[in-house]
Structure formats: C-alpha cells, structure tokens
C-alpha cells in the first residue's frame, strides 16, 4: 500500500518535472502537494516520514538542491508544513463531504495556509542553504506557492474522498450525454486556447471557465472539482506538448487557481442550494401531511360531536322498520291478512332501512380520509347532504334551518369533504352561539348567491344569535383562539385555510346585525361561469 503510494507520488513528481524554472529549479505545477495532503488527511501523521523521505528522493533524483542535508531539510520542512496545516484543518476538509459555501471557503483557506507555510519555510531554508539573492528567493517562493496551490486545490478535493469515490463516479459513470459533451468541450477549449501560440492564452483562458462552470452547476462541487482537475491536466498536457516555457506556465497557473476556486465555490453553492431545496420539499411534505391529519382530526371531532345525533338518526328509522316488520308478522298470523296492508308495511320498512343506510353512508363519507383532489362538484348536492348531517342535532337544539337559493346551483371546483367541513363548522358555530346565549328565536339561514366577483359563488351562513362580540372579531380566524371551553379554536382557522386553498375566501360580515353572518366564496367550474353571470 505504502509502496504503491510512494510509486504514485514519485510518478506524479516526475510528471511535474515537465516544467522547471532553470534558475531556481522550482516547478509551477505540483500535483504531488495535493497528493501529500490527501495522504495525511486519510492516513494521518504516520504518513509524514514516508512523505518526507519520498519527497527527498524525488528532489535528489530530479531537482538537485544544494547539499543532501539542505535537500533533506527542505523536504522535511515542506512536508511538515503540509501535514501540520492538514491536521489543523482536518475539520474543514471533513466538512467538504457535505459541501456548503462555508465549507468550500474554509477548504480554500486551508489550501492557502498550507501553501504559504511551505513556501515560507522553503524560502527561509534557502537563505541559509543557497547564495541566492533576495529577489531570486522571492521568485522561488512565488513559483513554489503557485505550483503547490494549483496542486492542492485541483487534486485534494477529488482525492480527500478516498476510498469513497462513489460520489465522483456517480457523475462520470451514469453521465448523460450533456456531461460528456461538456468534458469534451473542456478538452477542446484547452487545445484551442493553449495549442496555438498565435492566440493570446491569457485572453482566451476565460473560455475554459464555460465548461467548468457548466459542470459545476450540473453536478455541484464534485462536478466542479473533477472539471477543474481535468482542466488543469489538459492545460498542462497541451502546454507541455507545445513546449511552453516554465515562466508562461507559472503565470497561467494563477488563472488556473482562480478557475479551480471558482468551480469549487460554485459547486458547493449548487450542492447547498439543492440540499436546502430538498429539505424544504421534505418539510413541505411533512407540513402537508400534518395539515391533512389536522383536517381529519377536526372532521372526527366534528363527527364525535355529531355522534349522539347520528345515533338518534339511526335509531329512529331502525325502530320504525322494526315496528313495521312486527306489524307484518302479526298481520300474517291473522286468518285473512289484508294484502294491501302487508305491502304497505313492507314498503315502509324498506324505506326506513334505506334511510338508515343513507345516514351511515353520509357519516362514513365524511369521516373517510380525505384526499386533496378537487373536482367539479354539484354545489347544491354537496350543501344539501352537508345539511343532512347536522339537521338532527339542529332539531334537538330547537333550531330552524332555512335554505335560500340552494336549488339550481352551478358546479364548483372543489373537494367535497372539505367543503362539507367548512359548512358544518359554520353551522355548528351558529348553533353553539345560539344555544350558549339561550336565544329565544333560533334560526340558521344557509343561502347561496352570485357574487360581485365573476366566476365565484357566495355561500352565507346567518344565525339569529347574539352576534360576534367586538373583542373577539380581531382574532376570529387565528388558530387556537376559542370562546368555547371544550373548543380547540381550530374551526374557523381551518375553514379559512380550506377556502383559501380552493381559491376563495371566508370572512365574517361585520355589518350584519342582529346575529352573525359568515360568508365564503368558491370558484365556479369553468363551463359554468357564463351561466352564473346571467
């Protein structure tokens, strides 16, 4: 393992040797710096001696530097700087696993610090080990810095994920044709920009940004990192083939650093945005689910209030049916039963059983988990069957229910269960208000009419109770505000959101007096609109 690494390191170093400034012996492209930091990040400080020795060997083989003593010291100082900063910035490198703009920025800072630390030490050693002028030492430090920085920002983000290259492979292996096209474009751009000496490479360098940025936007930080690395290698390859001078290469590497950092930051931003987006979607789904559960709970609470009335509503027809059947049996036992009476008892019993069945069906329909589907509904039918659900309890509370304009209503777009829920809520509130106030005259009017707003129908629920108290009006529609001791205070708030979700609105008609009036609107089905206008 270590031997393989050493061989890879030495090969990389040998490759970087394509450009070497004759004056200082430094190279403007040092991919092995990124390799070294990745090794420290993955395997820890125990890699430091191996790295220092390997680097020393490389220097001795390809870049003789002063005496072996100073060369060894230089290699050790370089590796110590890289290793120290890698360890110190371990957290920042780890955070790059879930890329954020913040993590990417900290990564760039780590790369920069490692570069500066290594260059500073190398320059310091050079003042003792060589007889270079200060200018030469500075130039040496500059080239070393640029080369290391390029190596680190292009290689480390890709290699730090070792041995989990899954994220990277997911980009390349199932890549769509667009990804391949962009990589091809990247290569082509490098060839075009750097392959012809007549072109001004500095001016046209920016063309390389196009595929790199596109890939970063497409695949996030992984895309940015791979494309920056690809751009860097392509550029070096083309420049080497074209026999560029090391000085030109060093200057171009500045631009390469900018490109790589841009790609990383952009990619991380894209990843972060995607992650936030999917979190938002998950949150919205959870919100929707809890809203549905709430609607259902509120339906069940409405229904449990209804339970006494419903059981009465069931007991009546069943009791009647039983009486008819008992009568039937007794008539049949008579010597000469009257056929007409027998038939009438049978018909009456069947009718009563049907009535009980309808009650059960209505209640069950209402309780069933509601979907959110909005369809074209016959409003008259929805309102009528909703009123059937509350009729018994209104009768028990001695409340008259009046209907106005409920026949011949147009079709609306909506959800049957939810509209029922809104109407029940308003009627139930009206009932409670009158019962609590012990109103002498108790009536509820449910009316439907055309509205001022085209394409909508208006439904109002009006009671003859005491009306809404002035201090209650401001928070009438706020959730968890209830005047009833057992009330959850969700009724009006939920009803209002249901109506809003239908595209209509629900309001309290403050001008109406005496009593209370609540009004809501629902959008008409498209083909009904002209009809209602007339």
Partner 1 sequence: MKKPAKHSIMIVDDETAIRNSLASLLSTYGFETHTLASVEAMLNALQVSHPSCILLDVRMPGIDGLQAQKLLAEQDVSPPVIMMSGHGDIAMAVAAIKHGASDFIEKPIDDEKLVAAIELAIEKHSQKAGVAQRYASLSPREKVIAGLVAKGYSTLAIAAELGISNRTVDHHRANLSAKMQATSLPQLMGFLFELNLHVD
Residues contributing to the site for partner 1 (CB under 8 A): 308, 311-312, 315-324, 326-327, 330-331, 334, 341, 344-345, 348-349, 351-352, 355, 395-396, 398
To the nearest whole angstrom, how small is the minimum distance from the Cβ of residue 402 to partner 1?
14
Closer to partner 1 at the Cβ: 328 or 409? 328
Nearer to partner 1, 282 or 308 (CB): 308
285 or 308: whose CB is closer to partner 1? 308
Q: How far is the CB of 393 from partner 1 (least distance, A)?
A: 12
In angstroms, what is the minimal distance from the CB of 329 to partner 1?
9
Residue 289 to residue 181: CA distance in whole angstroms: 42
Q: How far is C-alpha 89 from the geometric centre of its chain's CA atoms?
A: 30
Give, in order, the Cα–Cα distances in Å from 229 to each of 34, 183, 423, 470: 11, 11, 64, 70
Please, what is the minimum distance in Å from the beta carbon of residue 350 to partner 1?
A: 12
Please say whether the beta carbons of 125 and 7 come within 8 A: no
Q: Which C-beta is closer to partner 1: that of 7 or that of 315?
A: 315
Q: Collapse the DSSP code of 473 into the 3-class scheme (helix H, G, I; strand E, B; otherwise coil) and give the result.
A: helix
The dihedrals phi and psi of 109, each to the nearest 5 degrees, come to -65, -40
Please give the Cα distance from 120 to 250 (Å, whole number).
18
Number of alpha carbons in the 13 Å side-chain half-sphere of residue 283: 6
The residues near 490 (Cβ < 8 Å, ≥ 6 apart) are 294, 298, 479, 480
Smallest gap from Cβ 427 to partner 1, in A, equals 17
Q: How far is the CB of 517 from partner 1 (least distance, A)?
A: 24
CB of 403 to partner 1, least distance (A): 17
The CA-atom distances, in angstroms, between 261 and each of 258, 302, 448, 523, 524 are 5, 60, 65, 53, 56
Indicate the residue among 341 and 449 with the shorter CB distance to partner 1. Answer: 341
Closest to partner 1 by CB, 97 vs 337, is 337
Shortest reach from residue 358's CB to partner 1, in Å: 13
Task: For partner 1, give the closer residue by CB, 334 or 513.
Answer: 334
Question: Which DSSP helix (H) or strand (E) runs through 404?
Answer: strand 400-404
CA gap 315, 90 in Å, rounded: 75
- Which of 388/509 has CB closer to partner 1? 388
Question: How do 400-404 and 443-450 pair as beta strands?
Answer: parallel
* 286 within 8 A of 293, measured Cβ to Cβ: no
Give dist(CA 237, CA 252) in Å, integer: 13
In the complex, the smallest distance separating the C-beta of residue 346 from partner 1, rounded to whole angstroms, is: 11
Partner residues linked to 450 by β-bridges: 457
Minimum CB distance to partner 1, residue 306 (Å): 14
Nearer to partner 1 by Cβ, of 187 and 355: the residue is 355
Q: State the nearest-atom distance from the C-beta of 327 to partner 1, in Å.
A: 4
Nearest to partner 1 of 280, 311 (CB atom): 311
The sign one gets for the Cα dihedral 205, 210, 216, 219 is negative
Q: Which is nearer to partner 1, 155 or 349 (CB)?
A: 349
Q: Residue 132 region, left (φ>0) first, then alpha (ψ -120 to 50), else beta? A: beta
Is residue 261 within 8 Å of residue 157, measured between CB atoms? no
* Residue closest to 397 by CA, chosen among 355, 444, 358, 362: 444
Cα 21 → chain centroid: 51
DSSP H or E segment with residue 234: helix 209-241
């Amino acid at each position: 393992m270590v031997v393989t690494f050493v061989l890879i390191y030495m090969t990389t170093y040998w490759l970087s040797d394509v450009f070497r400034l004759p004056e200082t012996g430094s190279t403007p492209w040092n991919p092995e710096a990124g390799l070294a930091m990745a090794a420290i990040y993955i395997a820890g400080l125990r890699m430091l001696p191996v790295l220092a020795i390997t680097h020393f060997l490389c220097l001795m083989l390809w870049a003789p530097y002063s005496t072996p003593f100073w060369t060894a010291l230089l290699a050790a100082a370089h590796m110590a700087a890289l290793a120290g900063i890698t360890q110190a910035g371990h957290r920042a490198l780890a955070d790059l696993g879930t890329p954020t703009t913040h993590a990417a920025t900290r990564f760039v800072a780590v790369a920069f610090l490692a570069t500066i630390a290594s260059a500073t030490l190398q320059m310091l050693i050079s003042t003792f080990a060589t007889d270079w002028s200060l200018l030469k030492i500075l130039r040496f430090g500059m080239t070393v810095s640029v080369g290391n920085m390029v190596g680190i920002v292009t290689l480390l983000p890709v290699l730090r994920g070792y041995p989990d290259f899954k994220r990277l492979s997911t980009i390349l292996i199932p890549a769509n044709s667009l990804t391949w096209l962009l990589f091809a474009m990247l290569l082509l751009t490098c060839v075009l920009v750097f392959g012809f000496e007549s072109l001004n490479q500095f001016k046209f360098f920016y063309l390389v940004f196009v595929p790199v940025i596109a890939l970063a936007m497409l695949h996030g930080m992984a895309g940015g990192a791979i494309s920056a690395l690809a751009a860097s290698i392509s550029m070096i390859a083309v420049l080497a083939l074209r026999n560029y001078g090391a000085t030109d290469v060093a200057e171009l590497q500045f631009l390469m650093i900018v490109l790589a950092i841009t790609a990383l930051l952009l990619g991380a931003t894209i990843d972060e945005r995607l992650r936030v987006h999917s979190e938002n979607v998950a949150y919205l789904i959870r919100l929707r689910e809890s809203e549905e559960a709430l609607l259902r709970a509120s339906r069940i609470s409405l229904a449990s209030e209804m339970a006494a009335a419903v059981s009465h509503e069931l007991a009546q027809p069943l009791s009647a049916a039983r009486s008819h059947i008992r009568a039937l049996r007794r008539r049949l036992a008579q010597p000469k039963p009257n056929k007409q009476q027998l038939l009438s008892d049978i018909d009456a019993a069947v009718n009563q059983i049907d009535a009980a069945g309808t009650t059960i069906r209505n209640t069950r329909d209402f309780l069933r988990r509601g979907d959110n589907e909005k369809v074209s509904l016959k409003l008259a039918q929805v309102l009528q069957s909703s009123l059937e659900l509350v009729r018994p309890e209104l009768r028990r509370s001695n409340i008259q229910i009046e209907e106005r304009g409920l026949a011949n209503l147009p079709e609306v777009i909506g959800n049957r269960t939810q509209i029922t829920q809104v109407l029940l809520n308003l009627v139930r509130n009206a009932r409670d208000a009158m019962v609590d106030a012990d109103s002498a005259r108790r009536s509820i009017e449910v009316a439907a009419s055309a509205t001022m707003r085209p394409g909508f129908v208006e439904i109002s629920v009006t009671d003859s109770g005491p009306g809404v108290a002035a201090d209650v009006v401001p928070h009438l529609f706020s959730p968890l505000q209830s005047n009833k001791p057992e009330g959850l205070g969700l009724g009006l708030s939920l009803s209002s959101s249901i109506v809003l979700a239908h595209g209509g609105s629900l309001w309290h008609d403050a001008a109406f007096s005496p009593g209370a009036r609540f009004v809501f609107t629902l959008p008409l089905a498209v083909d009904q609109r002209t009809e209602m206008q007339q």
